[in-house]
Structure 1
Amino acid sequence: MLISGKEMLDVAKKSHFAVPAFNAGSGQLLTAVIEACEEEKSPFMMAIHPDELAFLRDSFISQVLYECQHTKVPVAIHLDHGATLEQVIHAIQLGFTSVMIDSSHLPFEENVAITKKVVEIAHAVGVSVEAELGTIGDAGNTVEGGSNEIIYTDPEKAKEFVKRTNIDSLAIAIGTAHGLYPKDMTPELRLDILEEITKVVDIPLVLHGGSNNPDEEIAKSVELGISKINISSDIKISFTNKLREILDNGNLEIREPNVIFPDCIKEAKKTSLEKIKLFKSDNKMDLYY
């Protein structure tokens, strides 16, 4: 069942769970996350970054739309970290039901102006908008990118930003980074900042870059008000670790995709199931009917 991002996250906020937003940048990963969500009756957002879309080609969205229309699980198709107005409009034309405009690297007033324009365009056709305030760190090995310096979201600025832009959800910076953290870096979420933001912002809040953060911190962030968590590196690492194992076993006759990929899909699905339970989105499907 295809729905908008606002429909998806308003329910999550009200019912105190977080929707997993899986960056499933291939047909195999899409299969893994859909099977996991159907098994656990969990809603999810199919997140696609502009770089992933360029690689997959626009026709991939036809496959995603087909899968969304043939499952009872609520799904929103989400543009992750759209950088320009053109990317956002292109995604809307393809059938995305949710878009993110990420102008967080720009000065506050420029971020407001660009975000307001995106909201005006997207809301006119029923598409939801996520924006970001503060900066998410960059571990240096993902398509999502990020900043070398994490700037924490200021609660009062967040309040002003939401009021002036009329966005549907806000990605906040509380100490996460895209990708896997270097061995010498210990991630720690500023849950105190999250608590302050929830006091002054009444729309769903989003957490990007949660890989490597301790499960107890992620679970606590959901308790405190996070309504969507992006998952990219974790499912891809599970998939590719199994792929390496299969290709490195010395059998040079292994070549068929239907032989190579099934076990990789199983591993990505296993990770997806773990995240669904951690975010408490399991058995929430019926809330959307």
Structure 2
Amino acid sequence: MPLVTSKEMFKKAYEGKYAIGAFNVNNMEIIQGIVEAAQEEKAPLILQVSAGARKYAKPLYLKKLVEAAVHDSGLPIVLHLDHGESFEICKSCIDDGFTSVMIDGSKYPFEENIELTKRVVDYAHERGVVVEAELGRLAGIEDAVKVSEQDALFTDPDEAVEFVERTGVDSLAIAIGTSHGAYKFKGEPKLDFERLEKISNMLPGFPIVLHGASSVPSEFVELCNKYGGQIPGAQGVPESMLRKAAEMGVCKINIDTDLRLAMTASVRKYLAENPSHFDPRQYLGPGRDAIKQMVIHKMRNVLGCSGKA
């Protein structure tokens, strides 16, 4: 089975009131852990590449690893560019065989965002590639995305409708209170479900995307800290909120921080307990297993996409 686009995936997800997991990939072990989980759960899958991943591993290496995963698993897999910051980056990924790209023009004024997004949409659609865009901005820090709380703006429902109509974009990432990184909330976690419901009602059948949607499980934060980590007070989006969002038109949920936490906690624990070991396979193997178990948990308990491949 070749790489696929998300079009049919999102249609089924919207109708079935579940979401597809979009997991960020950076190396072989992360890809293997995610794909093994999807195989076990018989779940559709989006593997996405961020600016940081492109810089770290180079797009060609990641693409070939994802192609190997498709060949090995036989699963429907989307290869997605996460937070493409320019037309040129999106074009390059489209030309390299990505089946989905995100153009992030959320930092620009509304009209400029529309103009940039429409340009990417026109180029992508001519080549059978789907496009995600973003309207509204998420606070937090993750890879090249740095937005202060003061600059974070929730998505305006009327603007969302106009944006989709004028750009022809295939899915839209909105801001309703999630944020990038491990420190998403200082107080009580809260998402603007009223805003999400309004946008979903005004764009019936249209796929909504949630970025910054890791839950930052406390047990993994504690495990990291127990073995030398220093990430106190990290807090994510409660899984019950994400499950609710998936039932309200959110068809794609981005997860990155939770994978990092799972792998890092496992590697820290292994090295602390086995100080004489220095073979990377010895500690990256358990790290890969931790990724797999985290993704299985997400697919079963948050996304609701198990058995939907």
Common topology (TM > 0.5) = yes
- Tell me, in whole angstroms, the C-alpha distance in 2 between the residues paired with 1:197 and 1:182: 23
Give the counterpart letter for 2:96 in structure 1.
L
Please list the CA deviations of residues 126-175 of structure 1 after superposition, one character each: whole Å capped at 9, or x if unmatched. Answer: 0000000001111x3x2152421321111110000000000000001000
- Deviation, structure 1 residue 48: 0.6
Q: Which residue of 2 aligns with 1:42?
A: 43
- Tell me, in whole angstroms, the C-alpha distance in 2 between the residues paired with 1:154 and 1:12: 24
Give the counterpart letter for 2:279 in structure 1.
E
Q: Is the 8 A contact 1:158 1:197 kept in 2?
A: yes
Q: Is the 8 A contact 1:97 1:128 kept in 2?
A: yes
Q: Which residue of 2 aligns with 1:61?
A: 63
- Tell me, in whole angstroms, the C-alpha distance in 2 between the residues paired with 1:89 and 1:51: 18
Give the counterpart letter for 1:263 in structure 2.
P
How high is the sequence identity, in percent, across the aligned residues? 36
- Deviation, structure 1 residue 263: 1.0
Q: Is the 8 A contact 2:26 2:62 kept in 1?
A: no
- Tell me, in whole angstroms, the C-alpha distance in 2 between the residues paired with 1:182 and 1:282: 27
User: CA separation of 1:144/1:190 partners in 2, compared to 1, >3 Å: closer, same or farther?
Assistant: farther
> 1:281 is paired with a residue of what secondary structure?
coil
- Tell me, in whole angstroms, the C-alpha distance in 2 between the residues paired with 1:3 and 1:182: 32
**2:121 aligned with 1:119:** yes
Q: Which residue of 1 aligns with 2:270?
A: 246
Give the counterpart letter for 1:35 in structure 2.
E
Q: Is the 8 A contact 1:5 1:127 kept in 2?
A: no
Instruction: Flag structure 1 segments of 5+ consecutive residues without an equivalent.
Output: none
> 1:37 is paired with a residue of what secondary structure?
helix
Counterpart of 1:265 (choices 276, 279, 288) is: 288
- Tell me, in whole angstroms, the C-alpha distance in 1 between the residues paired with 2:18 and 2:129: 22
Q: Which residue of 1 aligns with 2:82?
A: 80
> 1:53 is paired with a residue of what secondary structure?
helix
Q: Which residue of 2 aligns with 1:276?
A: 299
- Deviation, structure 1 residue 189: 0.7
Q: Is the 8 A contact 1:144 1:178 kept in 2?
A: no
Please list the CA deviations of residues 221-264 of structure 1 after superposition, one character each: whole Å capped at 9, or x if unmatched. Answer: 11111100000000111001111111223523x12222221111
- Deviation, structure 1 residue 54: 1.9
Q: Which residue of 2 aligns with 1:207?
A: 210
User: CA separation of 1:204/1:14 partners in 2, compared to 1, >3 Å: closer, same or farther?
Assistant: same
Task: Kindly report which structure 2 residues correspond to 1:67-216, keeping only aligned pairs within 5 A, or say none.
Answer: 67-138=69-140, 140=141, 142-143=142-143, 145-149=145-149, 150-181=152-183, 184-202=186-204, 203-211=206-214, 212-216=236-240
Q: Which residue of 2 aligns with 1:228?
A: 252
Q: Is the 8 A contact 1:25 1:52 kept in 2?
A: yes
Q: CA RMSD in A?
A: 1.4
- Deviation, structure 1 residue 180: 1.1
Moved over 3 A (4+): 182-186
User: CA separation of 1:172/1:43 partners in 2, compared to 1, >3 Å: closer, same or farther?
Assistant: same
> 1:112 is paired with a residue of what secondary structure?
helix
> 1:238 is paired with a residue of what secondary structure?
helix
Aligned length: 282
- Tell me, in whole angstroms, the C-alpha distance in 2 between the residues paired with 1:39 and 1:263: 18
- Tell me, in whole angstroms, the C-alpha distance in 1 between the residues paired with 2:144 and 2:250: 20
Give the counterpart letter for 2:143 in structure 1.
V
- Deviation, structure 1 residue 66: 2.1
- Deviation, structure 1 residue 87: 0.8
Q: Which residue of 2 aligns with 1:255?
A: 278
- Deviation, structure 1 residue 8: 2.4
Higher mean C-alpha deviation, range 111-120 or range 186-195: 186-195
Instruction: Flag structure 2 segments of 5+ consecutive residues without an equivalent.
Output: 215-235
Q: Is the 8 A contact 2:51 2:144 kept in 1?
A: no
